[in-house]
């Protein structure tokens, strides 16, 4: 506990990400988002604001959606973290990923990881059936390209046909 | 485009295929600029000014430099002096500015806006760099800034430079005063639009790495070749020593079209600390240093005969720029071409404010200008008690009214008709406050959409390999626009090779030169180059077959050879032929390469080229609270050939959504005393979220245009945005009887 790299004090952190345990020495101020992106090369999780306002950094912690930019890495220890890289089954896309592809639920792709992680969490949340209710549940995930209508279509498609796989 | 071997389409173009880069994006595997793994990386964080105008008196980086993990702090005291800028200043700022835009590169102590970069911290980690940036202490000699557009308006001066180096800053046709005198009805109103900020989801980001005297920039840019040129000039090094890479861009919307200060600062820092430097702007830093849409104050004067015929139209737009650079929001360009009015004047003026320099933002000019023009037409329709569509049809321009040139194609009539039908315009009762849903006021409004067709020189390579696969290379970009996908489709049809066997490479200055991906011109520019390069490769392949005595196609008529599914066959005799692999294997196993350096011809001399559309909005306003809920947005567009209906529809939906934000939410607020950007984050700068966005319906009017470019496509990036703010403002008036001429339409303006 407590080593010094270039005179910066670090703490040892153990994170379980996508069912793999990773050991890190981190500045204690490191967010889970920066741990993923800058220390683990898991860049699928995006930084869009660093303030919990855009949803691009959404990951699952113990199965629930969490903003990784507002989560310190040290506080995520001992929990199961899932990122976008852990969603597909090898080469087999998750039905939600396939639905985003088929419905063109993205353009630039930068909010997409967060949208998909929120959409997957939503499948297990008490969200109503209507498009409007899904829109409400997804409103923490901003998309500047304006793919919203297609994202809702993708989610509703999955809810209708793959609910059992959630 | 005529060619003896014009491919009988194999059906790739026009098919609604999924994005070819989609799998990378839904799995998180697509790498954006800040995500490139580079060894020995240091992190840069910009320190910004906290005053809007003045001089840095003292900048103390001592405490920051002492912080463990800090490598260097660059300030105006120690930053390397740039010979290119010193020469520019010495010569009295004549000639072209080496940096392109007026940048803040720590060359002097002047402060021109609040948030200007004044120092750069380089550290071992983001955490340390951010902490150190907060420890840089600066004192200033403060001068009185000019912040408020309203009070600064009397200082407006006419813009005299050609807009985009092409369009005159002011125009006049006919006799405006005579037209006004002859009018039965006159309208004289002022519309205002606020500063707006692009806010792509990906912040601007640059990784700069030197290898000797060679620089590589992984930069979030929609203009790799442009950034290379700017960096080379600024650093006084040959362009060949600069490589710029931008494979995936997390949205751009015009803001990533220029090399802004942070790009140069990253390169300078990396050279100073002899390590690669990653510099990612914070969301707050996206407000000011990297452009935005300026304020506009637009004065519109209309005169019309009782039957709706326009007799006079004047549109003067004053937009804000910075104190360090002139940038004009070209708000009246659409006015010049949209209606057949014989007496018309347009002009642009500028007001200098102590704010960051504005820049292109989605449909620059058209988005703000058409809010004014298309609102004014709606106001006139009420004065005349005339249907808004009928009024527009009454003044339909059969040829470009400014130049007199014929349109290369124009299907706006069909767009009005299709949009009105799909929207259900006929159910609208014209009287304001005449339609209700329970206690909610219902409003229906419409507007015209238009955007010019632009095209610039572009080059591409098409290479067919002996394994039957092909690679397309072009230094263009995919901003989420679908460039990878539609270029794959164009190449598939031209080469006769299946989609899955084609790879498109973009976003690298090592690839053939291409223009900025902006102004809705990527399809016309790069798309044409790729089509022509692939056609050139196809010609070579066919030539090889018909001259090869061992080929089943030997001595076949050149024009009778078809290629489909990777197989060359004789027209009408599909059994006679061979695969590309067989042909190339027999002929030395070498790749076949086609190159095209495509550029516009004289079509712009002959034709006026624009895309057109119609946009309809239905919304509900709570009469007690003033809240506006948009229920439906329906757009109908004619934009030439639609290469991929799926991505095309998405792009138009995105433009419409962006326009909805402009209408109802977006407003970059500056504190009028300090010039500080008050709402510099995406919780306080409102953009549409899921719950705001209703069903958006997009329809295409079939349009064939053989003049615009070799592929007949007009571009879709901006047109979806145009007219939306007016359609919503017009619907708000219809619902409430309140005419809001000042964007955004927030509830306080309706109470």
User: Under an 8 A CB cutoff, do B693 and A149 touch?
Assistant: yes
Report pLDDT digits (tens) over B347-384: 999 999 999 999 999 999 999 999 999 999 999 999 99
Chain B CA closest to residue A43: B35
B564-578: average pLDDT:
93
User: Could you tell me the sign of the dihedral formed by the alpha carbons of A6, A9, A14, A17, in that order?
Assistant: negative
Is residue A8 over pLDDT 80?
no
Is residue B6 over pLDDT 80?
no
pLDDT of residue B331: 98
Distance of alpha carbon B664 from alpha carbon B748, whole angstroms: 12
Is residue B707 over pLDDT 80?
yes
Is residue A36 over pLDDT 80?
yes
Helical ranges in A29-111 per DSSP H: 32-34, 95-102
Mean of per-residue pLDDT scores for chain B? 96
Backbone angles phi, psi at B174, to 5 degrees: 65, -150
Q: Are B538 and B594 in contact (CB under 8 A)?
A: yes
Q: Reduce the DSSP state of residue A136 to 3 states and report it.
A: helix
Q: Are B33 and B206 in contact (CB under 8 A)?
A: yes
Judging contacts by C-beta atoms under 8 Å, the chain B residues touching residue A6 are 68-69, 124
- Pick among B17, B19, B28, B200 to test the A interface (most A CBs inside 10 A): B28
The terminus-to-terminus CA distance of chain A in angstroms comes to: 39
Q: Are A54 and B201 in contact (CB under 8 A)?
A: yes
Report pLDDT digits (tens) over B183-207: 999 999 999 999 999 999 999 999 9
Judging contacts by C-beta atoms under 8 Å, the chain B residues touching residue A147 are 650, 653-654
How far apart, in Å, are the Cα atoms of B711 and each of B278, B715, B749?
A: 40, 11, 46
Q: Between β-strands B502-505 and B470-473, what pairing exists: parallel, antiparallel or unpaired?
A: parallel
Q: Where are the beta strands (DSSP E) in A54-126?
A: 58-61, 64-67, 80-82
User: Under an 8 A CB cutoff, do A101 and B22 touch?
Assistant: yes
User: Under an 8 A CB cutoff, do A107 and B251 touch?
Assistant: yes
Q: Are A145 and A108 in contact (CB under 8 A)?
A: yes
Give the tokens for residue B615: 């946009």
Distance of alpha carbon B210 from alpha carbon B241, whole angstroms: 10
Distance of alpha carbon B396 from alpha carbon B309, whole angstroms: 10
Q: Are B203 and A47 in contact (CB under 8 A)?
A: yes
pLDDT of residue B10: 63
Confidence of residue A27 (pLDDT cuts 50, 70, 90): very high
Nearest to B682 among A8, A45, A54 (CB): A54
Q: Taking Cα atoms as reference points, which of B272, B117, B137 lies closest to residue B204?
A: B117
Judging contacts by C-beta atoms under 8 Å, the chain B residues touching residue A142 are 201, 682, 687, 689
Judging contacts by C-beta atoms under 8 Å, the chain A residues touching residue B653 are 146-147, 149-150
Is residue B8 over pLDDT 90?
no
B456: enclosing H helix or E strand: none
Q: Output the DSSP codes for A15-36.
A: EEETTEEEEEEE-TT-BHHHII
Q: Output the DSSP codes for B90-128.
A: HTTT-S--TTSS----SSSSEE-STT-EEEEEEESSHHH
Confidence of residue B1 (pLDDT cuts 50, 70, 90): very low
How far apart, in Å, are the Cα atoms of A145 and each of A108, B21, B579, B651?
A: 7, 16, 41, 8
Report pLDDT digits (tens) over B203-260: 999 999 999 999 999 999 999 999 999 999 999 999 999 999 999 999 999 999 999 9
Work out the minimum CA distance from B744 to partner chain A, whole angstroms: 17
Work out the minimum CA distance from A155 to partner chain B, whole angstroms: 12
Work out the minimum CA distance from B37 to partner chain A, whole angstroms: 7
Beta bridge partners of residue A60, listed in sequence order:
A65, A82
Distance of alpha carbon B341 from alpha carbon B352, whole angstroms: 32
Work out the minimum CA distance from A73 to partner chain B, whole angstroms: 13
Is residue B743 over pLDDT 70?
yes
All domains in chain A, ordered by first residue: 3-84 (3.10.20.30), 95-165 (1.10.150.120)
User: Under an 8 A CB cutoff, do A109 and B21 touch?
Assistant: yes
Nearest to B32 among A34, A110, A150 (CB): A110
Is residue A5 over pLDDT 60?
no
Q: Taking Cα atoms as reference points, which of B415, B378, B349, B376 lies closest to residue B610?
A: B415
User: Could you tell me the sign of the dihedral formed by the alpha carbons of B361, B362, B366, B369, in that order?
Assistant: negative
Report pLDDT digits (tens) over B389-424: 999 999 999 999 999 999 999 999 999 999 999 999
Nearest to A53 among B124, B681, B691 (CB): B681
Q: Between β-strands B310-322 and B157-158, what pairing exists: parallel, antiparallel or unpaired?
A: unpaired
Distance of alpha carbon B666 from alpha carbon B618, whole angstroms: 20
Determine the length of chain A: 166
Judging contacts by C-beta atoms under 8 Å, the chain A residues touching residue B687 are 142, 144
B249 touches chain A (CB under 8 A): yes
User: Under an 8 A CB cutoff, do A101 and B18 touch?
Assistant: yes
How far apart, in Å, are the Cα atoms of A30 and each of A9, A10, A45, A68, B42?
A: 12, 10, 15, 11, 16
Judging contacts by C-beta atoms under 8 Å, the chain A residues touching residue B481 are 107
Q: Are B298 and B192 in contact (CB under 8 A)?
A: yes
Chain A CA closest to residue B253: A145
pLDDT of residue A2: 42
All domains in chain B, ordered by first residue: 22-33+456-599 (3.30.365.10), 38-143+201-252+256-286 (3.30.365.10), 171-195+292-454+605-750 (3.30.365.10)
C-alpha torsion B427→B428→B430→B433, nearest 10: 120
Distance of alpha carbon B547 from alpha carbon B611, whole angstroms: 44
pLDDT of residue B2: 34
The count of other CB atoms within 10 Å of the CB of residue B146 is: 19
Work out the minimum CA distance from B698 to partner chain A, whole angstroms: 11
Is residue B4 over pLDDT 50?
no
Report pLDDT digits (tens) over B643-699: 999 999 999 999 999 999 999 999 999 999 999 999 999 999 999 999 999 889 999
pLDDT of residue A166: 46
Chain A CA closest to residue B282: A49
Is residue A4 over pLDDT 70?
no
Percentage of chain B beyond pLDDT 70 is 99
Report pLDDT digits (tens) over A93-137: 999 999 999 999 999 999 999 999 999 999 999 999 999 999 999
Residues of B designated as active site: 718
HEC profile of B588-633: CCCCEEEEEEECCCCHHHHCECEEEEEEEEEEEECCCCCCEEEEEE
Is residue B514 over pLDDT 70?
yes
B30 touches chain A (CB under 8 A): yes
Chain A CA closest to residue B682: A53
What ipTM does the predicted assembly reach?
A: 0.97
Report pLDDT digits (tens) over B436-471: 999 999 999 999 999 999 999 999 999 999 999 999
pLDDT of residue A162: 73
Nearest to B480 among A30, A138, A145 (CB): A145
């Amino acid at each position: 506990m407590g080593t010094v790299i270039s005179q910066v004090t670090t703490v040892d952190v153990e994170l379980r990400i996508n069912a793999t345990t990773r050991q890190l020495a981190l500045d204690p101020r490191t967010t889970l988002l920066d741990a993923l992106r800058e220390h683990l090369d898991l860049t699928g999780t995006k930084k869009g604001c660093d303030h919990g306002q855009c949803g691009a950094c959404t990951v699952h912690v113990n199965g629930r959606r969490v903003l990784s930019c507002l989560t310190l890495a040290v506080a995520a220890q001992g929990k199961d973290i899932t990122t976008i890289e852990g969603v597909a089954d090898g080469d087999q896309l998750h039905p939600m990923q396939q639905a985003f592809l088929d419905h063109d639920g993205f353009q630039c792709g930068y909010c997409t990881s967060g949208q998909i992680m929120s959409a997957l969490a939503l499948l297990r949340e008490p969200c109503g059936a209507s498009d409007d209710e899904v829109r409400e549940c997804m409103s923490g995930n901003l998309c500047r390209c304006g793919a919203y209508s297609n994202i809702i279509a993708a989610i509703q498609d999955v809810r209708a046909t793959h609910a059992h796989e959630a | 485009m005529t060619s003896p071997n014009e491919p009988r389409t194999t059906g790739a173009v026009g098919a609604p295929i999924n994005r070819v880069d989609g799998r990378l994006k839904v799995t998180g595997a697509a790498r954006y600029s800040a995500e490139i793994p580079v060894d020995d990386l240091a992190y840069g964080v910009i320190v910004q000014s906290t005053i809007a105008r003045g001089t840095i008196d003292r900048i103390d980086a001592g405490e920051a430099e002492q912080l463990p993990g800090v490598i260097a702090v660059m300030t105006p005291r120690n930053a390397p002096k740039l010979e290119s800028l010193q020469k520019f200043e010495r010569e009295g700022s004549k000639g072209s500015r080496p940096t392109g835009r007026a940048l803040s590169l720590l060359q002097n102590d002047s402060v021109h806006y609040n948030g200007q970069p004044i120092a750069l911290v380089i550290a071992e980690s983001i955490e340390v760099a951010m902490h150190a940036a907060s420890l840089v202490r600066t004192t200033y000699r403060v001068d009185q800034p000019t912040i408020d557009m309203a009070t600064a308006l009397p200082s407006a001066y006419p813009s005299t430079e050609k807009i985009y180096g092409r369009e005159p800053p002011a125009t006049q046709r006919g006799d405006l005063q005579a037209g006004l005198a002859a009018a039965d009805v006159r309208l004289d109103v002022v519309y205002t639009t606020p500063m707006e900020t692009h806010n792509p989801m990906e912040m601007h980001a640059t990784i700069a790495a030197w290898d000797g005297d060679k620089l590589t920039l992984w930069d979030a840019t929609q203009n790799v070749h442009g950034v290379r040129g700017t960096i080379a000039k600024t650093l006084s090094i040959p362009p060949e020593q600069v490589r710029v890479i931008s494979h995936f861009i997390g949205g751009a919307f015009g803001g990533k079209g220029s090399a802004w200060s942070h790009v140069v600062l990253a390169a300078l820092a990396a050279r100073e600390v002899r390590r690669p430097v990653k510099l990612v702007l914070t969301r707050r830093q996206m407000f000011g240093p990297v452009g935005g849409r300026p304020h506009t104050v637009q004065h519109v004067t209309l005169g019309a005969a009782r039957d709706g015929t326009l007799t006079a139209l004047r549109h003067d737009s004053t937009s804000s720029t910075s104190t360090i650079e002139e940038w004009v929001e070209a708000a009246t360009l659409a006015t010049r071409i949209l209606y057949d009015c014989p007496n018309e004047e347009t002009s642009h003026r500028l007001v200098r404010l102590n704010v960051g320099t504005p820049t292109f933002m989605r449909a620059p000019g058209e988005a703000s200008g058409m809010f004014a023009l298309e609102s004014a037409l709606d106001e006139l329709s009420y004065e005349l008690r005339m249907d808004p569509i009928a009024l527009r049809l009454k003044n339909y321009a059969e040829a470009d009214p400014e130049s007199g040139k014929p349109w290369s194609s124009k299907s706006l009539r069909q767009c009005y008709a299709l949009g009105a039908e799909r929207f259900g315009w006929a159910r609208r009762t014209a009287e304001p406050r005449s339609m209700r849903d329970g206690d909610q006021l219902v409003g229906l409004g419409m507007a015209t959409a238009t955007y010019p067709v632009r095209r610039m020189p572009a080059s591409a390579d098409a290479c067919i390999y002996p394994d039957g696969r092909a690679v397309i290379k072009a230094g263009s970009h995919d901003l989420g626009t679908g460039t990878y996908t539609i270029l794959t489709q164009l190449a598939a049809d031209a080469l006769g090779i299946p989609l899955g066997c084609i790879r498109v490479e973009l976003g690298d200055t090592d690839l053939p030169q291409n223009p900025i991906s902006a102004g809705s011109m990527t399809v016309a520019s790069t798309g044409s180059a790729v089509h022509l390069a692939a056609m050139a490769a196809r010609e070579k392949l066919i030539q090889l077959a018909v001259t090869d005595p061992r080929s089943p196609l030997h001595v076949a008529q050149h024009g009778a050879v078809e290629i489909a599914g990777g197989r060359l066959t004789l027209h009408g005799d599909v059994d006679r032929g061979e695969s590309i692999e067989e042909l190339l294997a027999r002929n030395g196993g070498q790749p076949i390469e086609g190159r095209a350096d495509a550029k516009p011809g004289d079509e712009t001399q002959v034709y006026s080229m624009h895309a057109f559309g119609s946009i309809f909005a239905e919304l509900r306003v709570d009469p007690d609270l003033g809240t506006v809920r948009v229920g439906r947005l329906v757009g109908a567009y004619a934009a030439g050939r639609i290469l991929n209906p799926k991505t095309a529809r998405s792009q138009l939906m995105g433009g419409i959504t962006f326009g909805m934000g402009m209408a109802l939410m977006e407003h970059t607020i500056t504190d009028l005393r300090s010039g500080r950007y008050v709402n510099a984050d995406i919780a306080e700068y409102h953009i549409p979220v899921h719950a705001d966005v209703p069903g958006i319906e997009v329809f295409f009017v079939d349009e064939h245009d053989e003049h615009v470019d070799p592929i007949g496509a007009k571009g879709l990036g901006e047109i979806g945005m145009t007219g939306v703010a007016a359609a919503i403002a017009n619907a708000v008036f219809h619902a409430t009887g309140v005419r809001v001429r000042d964007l955004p339409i927030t509830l306080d303006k309706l109470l």
